[in-house]
Amino acid sequence: MKYTRIPHTDIRISKICLGTMTWGRQNTQDEAFEQMDYALDQGVNFFDTAELYPIPPKKELYAVTEEFIGNWFKKTGNRDKVVLASKISGPGHGGKHIRSTGFSKESIIGAVEGSLKRLQTDYIDLYQLHWPERNTNYFGQRGFNAHAIEVWEDNIHQILETLRDLIAEGKIRHVGLSNETPWGTMRYLEESKVHQSLPRMLTIQNPYSLLNRLFEVGLSEISTREKIGLLAYSPMAFGVLSGKYLSEIPPRKARITLFPNYSRYSSDTATQATEQYAQLAKEHGLSMAQMALAFVNTRPFLTSNIIGATTMEQLKENIESIDVDLSDEVLEGIEAIHNAIPNPAP
């Protein structure tokens, strides 16, 4: 395994992060336990979860994923071997069954305390805001709609104050963003610069893959200059970049087969790009999945690459991507496809 550090800290984390969003929906608790056991044995010490999980969210399955992880900690005693990240849900977007009060002080405190109880731990190493409260473009929206109705008032100072108090209490150690824009990222960073008693956002968990490199447009410069590390999610584009959906008969238990509304990476243009990436991998004797993950692993702004798997075979292949070195010829081929079909799946 290769390791990085959470920026501005001495916390050493694996460059491969174990994602957990299928546990409780596509994976049983026993399967989740097997994944955690194997990942830890392979040197993966960074796990990412959220109160919203499993995905797709469902009221009766609220926070089951965190419960699985907590039960594993209790069974194995491995809490001190894992750097643990979780998230508070934002408003709407599948989180209506959780709360409707956004990131108010009471909401953040209640969310943290609920996660701690389910995770059966005294602290969370990295606590993230899952998506913004305000009207902005995330979850596949290409542009910002300036005319949308908005009731949000800037509460970023208050959010950071609440997080500061939770850090002082020892309930969380550090904080990060997720599904955030360049404006939002800089707004949080500047607030903590001006008010130095407030905690600094250290990471940003956004989508990044061969089919969606929009992070490079504005956020990569912020990431590099401000040292806020990318935790790349959906590096396999919901499994599309394994090539398994290119067959005439899609796999029966695969994610997009089960949940066809998760079609962000399945447009005609995205499929065209996927076909070209699959051909490139074949020409160079590479697994398409490992080529896709290895590409993300090469990015200079990456802190950790969040993988997810529903089978042990997938998990092993994904973790092994850390040892795949892409040749200059492969990287040039990737850029040629990207230039011809840039960011087909925002």
Catalytic residue among 3, 38, 53, 262: 53
State the Cα–Cα distance between residues 58 and 183, nearest whole angstrom. 31
- Other CB atoms within 10 A of residue 302 CB: 19
pLDDT at 50: 98
Q: Which domains does the chain possess?
A: 3-239+299-326 (3.20.20.100)
For residue 203, what is the enclosing H or E element? Answer: strand 201-207
State the Cα–Cα distance between residues 231 and 205, nearest whole angstrom. 4
Whose tokens are 């997720």? That residue is 178
Looking at this protein, which amino acid is placed at residue 59?
K
Is residue 262 flagged as an active site residue?
A: no
- Other CB atoms within 10 A of residue 171 CB: 19
Mean pLDDT of successive 10-residue stretches along the chain, which has 346 residues = 98 98 97 98 98 95 98 98 98 86 96 98 98 90 84 94 98 98 98 98 98 97 98 97 85 75 87 98 97 98 97 98 98 98 95
pLDDT at 79: 98
* Burial class of 107 by CB neighbour count within 10 A (0 to 12, 13 to 18, 19+): buried
State the Cα–Cα distance between residues 200 and 344, nearest whole angstrom. 33
pTM: 0.96
pLDDT at 260: 78
Whose tokens are 């609220």? That residue is 62
pLDDT at 248: 67
Is the bond preceding residue 199 a cis peptide, omega within 30 degrees? no
For the chain, the 3-state helix, strand and coil shares in percent, each to the nearest 5, are 40, 15, 40
